[in-house]
Chain A
Amino acid sequence: MTLEYYIILAFLLFAIGLYGAFSRRSAIMIFISIEIMLNAVNISLVAFSKFSAIATAYGHIFTIFSMVVAAAEVTIGLAIVLAIFRHFEDIDTNDINLLK
Chain B
Amino acid sequence: MLETITFFLPEICIALTAIIILISGLFIKNRNVLTAISCIGIIASAVLTVIYQYDPMSHGIVYASGLLCIDMTSFYFRMLFAVIALLVVMASQDYAKNFESKYPEYLVLINLALLGMTLLVSSYNLISMFASLELMALSFYALTSLMNTKQSAEAGMKYILLGGINSAILLFGMSLVFGYTGSINIDDIFFSIMGTADPEIGLILGIAMIIAGFSFKTAAVPFHSWAPDVYDGSPTTITLFLSTASKLAGMATLARLIEIVSYGSPTVLAPKLAIVIAVLSVLSMLVGNIGAIRQTNIKKMLAFSGISQTGYMMLALAAFCLNAADASVSNYEIFIGLITFAVAFALAEAAAFTGVITISDHIKSDKIENYRGIAKQAPFAAVVITIALLSLMGLPATAGFIGKFEVFASTHNTVLIIIGVLNSVISAAYYLNVIRVMWTGENEYKGKIEASWLPLTVMVVAATLVIGIGLFGFNYI
- Interfacial residues of chain A within 7-42, with CB under 8 A of chain B in the complex: 7, 10, 14, 17-18, 21-22, 27, 30-31, 33-34, 37-38, 40-41
What are the residues of chain A within 8 A of B154 when measuring CB–CB?
Answer: 84, 87-88, 96-99
A76 touches B157 (CB 8 A): no
What are the residues of chain A within 8 A of B171 when measuring CB–CB?
Answer: 38, 41, 66
CB contact between A62 and one of B161, B184, B202, B233 (< 8 Å): that residue: B184
- Interfacial residues of chain A within 64-82, with CB under 8 A of chain B in the complex: 65-66, 69, 72-73, 76-77, 79-81
What are the residues of chain B within 8 A of A79 when measuring CB–CB?
Answer: 142
A84 to B138, CA, bound (A): 17
A62 to B178, CA, bound (A): 10
Using A96-B154, A98-B151 as known contacts, say yes or no to A38 and B134 having CB atoms under 8 A apart.
Answer: no
* Chain B minimum-CB-distance residue to A36: B168
User: Is B182 an interface residue, CB under 8 A from the partner?
Assistant: yes
* Chain A minimum-CB-distance residue to B185: A58
How far, in Å, is B203 (CB) from chain A's closest CB? 12
A62 to B67, CA, bound (A): 13
What are the residues of chain B within 8 A of A93 when measuring CB–CB?
Answer: 157, 161
CB contact between B184 and one of A27, A58, A83, A84 (< 8 Å): that residue: A58
User: Is B155 an interface residue, CB under 8 A from the partner?
Assistant: yes
Identify which of B6-14, B95-103, B123-131 touches chain A: B123-131
A17 to B172, CA, bound (A): 12
* Chain B minimum-CB-distance residue to A11: B172
B134 touches A72 (CB 8 A): yes
- Chain A: interface size category: 35 or more
* Chain A minimum-CB-distance residue to B159: A80
User: Is B179 an interface residue, CB under 8 A from the partner?
Assistant: yes
- Interfacial residues of chain B within 350-402, with CB under 8 A of chain A in the complex: none
A83 to B144, CA, bound (A): 12
What are the residues of chain B within 8 A of A52 when measuring CB–CB?
Answer: 179, 182
B126 touches A62 (CB 8 A): yes
How far, in Å, is A66 (CB) from chain B's closest CB? 6
User: Is B141 an interface residue, CB under 8 A from the partner?
Assistant: yes
A10 to B229, CA, bound (A): 33
A76 touches B141 (CB 8 A): yes
A21 to B168, CA, bound (A): 11
B130 touches A31 (CB 8 A): no
User: Is B251 an interface residue, CB under 8 A from the partner?
Assistant: no
What are the residues of chain B within 8 A of A77 when measuring CB–CB?
Answer: 141, 160-161, 164
* Chain B minimum-CB-distance residue to A86: B153
What are the residues of chain A within 8 A of B93 when measuring CB–CB?
Answer: none
A56 touches B183 (CB 8 A): yes
User: Is B150 an interface residue, CB under 8 A from the partner?
Assistant: yes
A41 to B169, CA, bound (A): 9
User: Is B156 an interface residue, CB under 8 A from the partner?
Assistant: yes
User: Is B175 an interface residue, CB under 8 A from the partner?
Assistant: yes
What are the interface flags for B248-276 relative to A under an 8 Å C-beta threshold, 1 for contact and 0 otherwise?
Answer: 00000000000000000000000000000
* Chain A minimum-CB-distance residue to B180: A48
Using A69-B130, A80-B156 as known contacts, say yes or no to A62 and B150 having CB atoms under 8 A apart.
Answer: no
What are the residues of chain A within 8 A of B61 when measuring CB–CB?
Answer: none
A21 to B176, CA, bound (A): 21
B153 touches A44 (CB 8 A): no
What are the residues of chain B within 8 A of A69 when measuring CB–CB?
Answer: 130-131, 134, 167
* Chain B minimum-CB-distance residue to A68: B131
B176 touches A83 (CB 8 A): no
B184 touches A40 (CB 8 A): no
How far, in Å, is B350 (CB) from chain A's closest CB? 23
A27 touches B157 (CB 8 A): yes
What are the interface flags for B103-132 relative to A under an 8 Å C-beta threshold, 1 for contact and 0 otherwise?
Answer: 000000000000000000000001100110
B168 touches A98 (CB 8 A): no
B178 touches A21 (CB 8 A): no
User: Is A1 an interface residue, CB under 8 A from the partner?
Assistant: no
What are the residues of chain B within 8 A of A80 when measuring CB–CB?
Answer: 141, 145, 153, 156-157, 160
How far, in Å, is B5 (CB) from chain A's closest CB? 22
B164 touches A31 (CB 8 A): yes
Residues in chain A within 8 A of chain B (CB atoms): 7, 10, 14, 17-18, 21-22, 27, 30-31, 33-34, 37-38, 40-41, 44-45, 47-48, 52-54, 56, 58-59, 61-62, 65-66, 69, 72-73, 76-77, 79-81, 83-84, 86-88, 93, 96-100
Residues in chain B within 8 A of chain A (CB atoms): 126-127, 130-131, 134, 138, 141-142, 145, 149-151, 153-158, 160-161, 164-165, 167-169, 171-172, 174-176, 178-179, 182-184, 202, 228-229, 232-233
Known: A44-B175, A73-B141, A93-B157. 14 other contacts (CB 8 A): A18-B168, A30-B165, A34-B161, A34-B164, A40-B172, A48-B179, A58-B184, A62-B127, A62-B174, A69-B131, A73-B134, A73-B167, A87-B149, A97-B154
Pick 10 A–B contacts, CB within 8 A, sort by A: A14-B168, A18-B168, A22-B165, A34-B161, A48-B178, A73-B138, A76-B142, A80-B153, A87-B154, A97-B154
